[in-house]
Amino acid sequence: MTRPAGQLITVAALIAAGMNDCEVSRQTGIPRSTIRDWRTLHRSERSSMLRPSSCPRCDGLPLSWSWYAYLLGMYLGDGCLSEGRRSVYKLRITLDKRHPTSSESARDAIREVRGPDRVTAGIVPKQGCVEVYANWKHWPCLFPQHAAGVKHLRVIQLEPWQEEIVTAEPGRLLRGLIHSDGCRITNHVKVRGVDYAYPRYQFNNTSEDIRRIFCKACDDFGVRWAQSNWNTISVSRSASIAKLDEVIGPKT
């Protein structure tokens, strides 16, 4: 089990003060066997363990609510985590290649959530889409919805700390959800032989839980929505369209 850096620093200080393993264990509540194993680590390994992880959840570092809400929307819409070697996870967000602005926004969000000096966010062209990705051990800390299997076949529920963020930043969550799994279209109708055209936002997702999260964000943001069919939520009222336009921007 990975120990928080603060515990390791405390243990190092007690060892340096001359305490034996039993004394350190009683002082910290950490098992004596763990103290013993840690004491015998090579200096380079010990330094690596003491190095802060830069994780807002593990180390209490600042987290930009605005950028996190946007990245969470992208992850819920069309993102996933996959575990690689040494428990390093790759965050993948799949986006339409016709909309490069969304891809750049995803990269910006990853940098801001992780810290611009700590991460490289890459883009891989795919057939008809692009994949924005970044590697980090702590992605599951920020996206606890990660689990085996596709999202629409399992429960997707936000943690209380995530609820607090998206309630404060519903527009940014909607921006991420629309950029990843939504669109702004022009709807054409004919009434008594006259053609009318009006804009409409649509969010399409097969997960009932994620659609519910989208609808709650609309409610919090003051946007009227309607269910077009079993997996599509539509926004067509002119006032609501204007409100979404302010936060979502052109998907180009």
Among 7-16, 25-34, 109-118, 121-130, whose mean pLDDT is lowest? 7-16
pLDDT of residue 61: 81
pLDDT of residue 52: 52
CA distance 110 to 116: 8
Percent of the chain with pLDDT over 70: 88
Q: What are phi and psi of 58, to 5 degrees?
A: -85, -40
Q: What is the pLDDT of residues 216-235, one digit of tens each?
A: 999 999 999 999 999 999 99
Q: Is the pLDDT of residue 196 over 70?
A: yes
Question: What would the mean pLDDT of 124-144 be, rounded to a whole number?
Answer: 92
Question: What would the mean pLDDT of 33-46 be, rounded to a whole number?
Answer: 64
Q: What is the sign, positive or negative, of the torsion defined by CA atoms of 3, 5, 7, 10?
A: positive
Question: What would the mean pLDDT of 138-151 be, rounded to a whole number?
Answer: 93
CB of 226 closer than 8 Å to CB of 233? yes
CA distance 83 to 86: 9
pTM: 0.78
Buried b (16+ CB within 10 A) or exposed e, 104-134: ebbbebbbbbbeeeebebebeeeeeebbbbb
pLDDT of residue 8: 67
